[in-house]
Chain A
Amino acid sequence: MAAILSDREIKRRLGLPVSDDESLVITPLFDLGKSLDADAIDLRLGTHFLLPRVSQRPFLLPDRASVGTFHTNVNVPLGKYLVVPAHQTVLGSTLEFIKLPFDLSGQILTKSSVARTFIVIETAPWIHPQYRGCLTLEIANVSNTPILLYPGRPIGQLVLMKILNPTKQPKMGSTYFGPIYPEPPTFKDPLDDLSEIGVSKVWIIEGPTPVTKPGKKT
């Protein structure tokens, strides 16, 4: 059965050299004693955000061409705040850079105190073995009130789990490899994804097209 790592095991793995297959990296760590719970470690909110951009199209089509078009970069330095309006979302990241070893999976959870303000930080909380990077957080304010987020404050907890019979991947994964800021999503075109399961035709919606008076040149 998979087991959740204790604070002692987390500490042991944090102390291993980075070349060790079992090594766990979480950096920067300000005060390990304060950050560690019996079975989890606190993570802080980073200073960069991707705010949703108002699209010129009346819909969002996640395809290859859309990469990087959904968001606007924002930097909020330590000491300043970001206002998340009610029912709005933003991509953020952890301040900590994380590297999981080959035999651990992780899950990031909203800190309970934060969750009780109706801020949700993760909708894809699972972290695969050998992942490295600052974790992108899909932050949603599901309350009816605007909320201030302060970079540097604890926002989530990382729970680590030992995998049964893990397979050591000889290479590091290339998707979302080592980001230090929130990364926008990457997509293939819908047809590329669907052709893998035998679909050969995909319906799409064209973007807005200008309408001109008859006889007028555009």
Chain B
Amino acid sequence: MPDALSGLLHDATAVYRFVDFICAFCDRKESQQTYGEASEDFFDYVIELGESTRRFLQSIVDEAKSDPKRIPIYRTNLATIKKCWAELHVFVKPAADGHSLQTPTPFLAFMEQQLSELPSLAGARIVILISPELNYLQYQHSKLKGFASELSRTIPKSPTFPAKLGFIAIPFSQGGTVFTNTLIYHELGHFVFEELNKRRTLNAAITSALTRTLRNAYTSLGYDEKAWCRSQLAIWAEETFCDLFALWVSGPAYSFASIELLSLLGMLGTSGAKDFDSEHPPFAFRFSEHYDQLKKHKWWAAIESMSADHPKLIKEMGAVDPKEYRYEFQELVPAFLELRDAIRDLVKTTVGNRDPGFEAFKEWKSNVHEHLLHGIVPSTSHGKGKQPLAAALINSAFCFYLDSLAELVKKVKDLDPSIVEHRSDIARRVEMWTLKALEDCHLLSRHSQSQAS
């Protein structure tokens, strides 16, 4: 079968070149830029997988020469390799773009630390991908893991996919910011939901909600229609879970960041605020959940009187009557609303006994405010209070940004708070100082730990 062999050889060569390029790309990027540990592990995995893939490609060609009957099997192997590497290809470039100059590294390190402290998530890490979209997205890592295990079944001695590795894409324009990047917490929620298989926990509640609210209309549906209903509710439930998870772990900064991004996207205040779509519950519902949780965790009283519009917007949206929520299949809405308590409980069990951070905020807010107002990185008080300063930084600084930016601009020579360029420059600096304070806190904590040991 000379033709089949030369065809296999040609195909293997093309795959070899493809894999070789990706590995060289990862290697080059790793030597040129600085990445977080998660990204480095991912690149190392890709490079190692590349080596085993290339070895395997040569081995199948060698074996095909001596046993041409096996060529169809090798062709199937090649098809698997192509499919999996094509999937990896999607991740490599955005991950390479997510180096330390394009991402808020100290903030990400803080998030990873918070993530690692959650039950069953010790050692969890996140690869940051840079996206052209003006949105945040968690890539389903279990899909990538699936491809990886398919490859390891095909290629002998291929490396194991790094455990507890998530992939979150952030917009390229927001790489250096702190405040908007609080939205990453929502994507961390997706990672947690997927990694800990929280969908399974919700399945019973979803079926029960559908049966209770739709009664015969649900039980008389066909298998596929029932599955679709359950899947739709699960999608909305996951989104709500992620919102509440993000709020719990990061505080009202998450609500503020959501409003900032929605406003930038021109999606705030539109008539669509009450509409469900196939991927998300309506903003009105989501903010009503924000409002309830912020009240429950004592945040609301502290942010309610802010002069910025954000708390008012949260309250207004939260006050929309659920009867006004709309969806193409309206019957699903009451079934979904029945799930509220189950979702809230799920968030609670996921975060364990994690402190929502209000006490730290209460202790440090005025201190952080005072520092920022004097143009100073607010890390000087690290280790001097009862509560960790790092936990309060994002919320305190976000409140400062929303309420007191003009006050700071007025204190700087030749700057005018009514000039957009001046405000923008100072806002950028407030974010920089917050980022630096997070980095300082991290370094100082590490230093204290090393002294103690």
Q: Which positions in A face B, CB cutoff 8 Å?
A: 17-19, 25, 27-28, 30-31, 73-78, 80, 97, 99, 132, 134, 169, 171-174, 177-180
Residue pair B380, A27 in contact (C-beta under 8 Å): yes
Question: A31 vs B447: C-alpha distance in the bound complex, in angstroms?
Answer: 9
Question: A179 vs B429: C-alpha distance in the bound complex, in angstroms?
Answer: 8
A28-B440, A97-B436, A99-B374 given; A177·B34 CB < 8 A: no
Residues of A within 8 A of B375 (CB): 99, 132, 172, 177-178
Closest A-B pairs by Cβ, 5 of them: A28-B440, A171-B413, A97-B377, A180-B436, A75-B100
Question: A30 vs B370: C-alpha distance in the bound complex, in angstroms?
Answer: 22
From B99, B411, B436, contact of A172 by CB (8 A): B411
Residue pair A173, B376 in contact (C-beta under 8 Å): no
Residue pair A28, B379 in contact (C-beta under 8 Å): yes
Residues of B within 8 A of A31 (CB): 447
Closest chain-A Cβ to B365's Cβ sits at a distance in Å of 15
Question: A177 vs B430: C-alpha distance in the bound complex, in angstroms?
Answer: 11
B402 within 8 A of A: no
Using CB atoms, name the residue of chain A closest to B451: A31
Residue pair A18, B101 in contact (C-beta under 8 Å): no
A-B contact pairs, 12 of them (CB 8 A): A19-B374, A27-B440, A28-B379, A30-B447, A75-B33, A97-B379, A132-B374, A172-B375, A172-B411, A178-B376, A178-B429, A178-B432
Chain B, interface size: which category?
20 to 34
Question: A12 vs B293: C-alpha distance in the bound complex, in angstroms?
Answer: 44
Using CB atoms, name the residue of chain A closest to B380: A27
From B100, B101, B376, B411, contact of A25 by CB (8 A): B376
Further pairs besides A19-B370, A30-B447, A97-B440: 4, Cβ < 8 Å: A27-B376, A74-B101, A177-B375, A177-B429
Using CB atoms, name the residue of chain A closest to B33: A75
Question: A17 vs B371: C-alpha distance in the bound complex, in angstroms?
Answer: 9
From A18, A174, A178, contact of B433 by CB (8 A): A178
Residues of B within 8 A of A75 (CB): 33-34, 99-101, 105
Residues of B within 8 A of A173 (CB): 412-413
- Which residues of B from 232 to 249 have beta carbons under 8 Å from A? none
From B100, B370, B412, B435, contact of A177 by CB (8 A): B412
Question: A134 vs B377: C-alpha distance in the bound complex, in angstroms?
Answer: 10
Quick one: which of A28, A30, A173 has the most chain B CB within 10 A?
A28
B341 within 8 A of A: no
Question: A73 vs B99: C-alpha distance in the bound complex, in angstroms?
Answer: 12
Residues of B within 8 A of A172 (CB): 374-375, 411-413
Closest chain-B Cβ to A74's Cβ sits at a distance in Å of 8
Question: A132 vs B436: C-alpha distance in the bound complex, in angstroms?
Answer: 13
Residues of B within 8 A of A27 (CB): 376-377, 379-380, 440
Question: A75 vs B34: C-alpha distance in the bound complex, in angstroms?
Answer: 7
From B100, B376, B413, contact of A174 by CB (8 A): B413
Residues of A within 8 A of B447 (CB): 30-31
Residues of A within 8 A of B101 (CB): 73-75
Residue pair B415, A18 in contact (C-beta under 8 Å): no
B337 within 8 A of A: no
B29 within 8 A of A: no
Using CB atoms, name the residue of chain B closest to A44: B443
Closest chain-A Cβ to B433's Cβ sits at a distance in Å of 6
A171-B412, A178-B433, A180-B436 given; A99·B370 CB < 8 A: no
Residue pair B382, A28 in contact (C-beta under 8 Å): yes
Residues of B within 8 A of A178 (CB): 375-377, 429, 432-433
- Which residues of B from 51 to 99 have beta carbons under 8 Å from A? 99
Residues of A within 8 A of B444 (CB): 28, 30
Question: A198 vs B375: C-alpha distance in the bound complex, in angstroms?
Answer: 37
Residue pair B34, A17 in contact (C-beta under 8 Å): no
Question: A27 vs B100: C-alpha distance in the bound complex, in angstroms?
Answer: 22
Residues of B within 8 A of A78 (CB): 443
Question: A174 vs B105: C-alpha distance in the bound complex, in angstroms?
Answer: 27
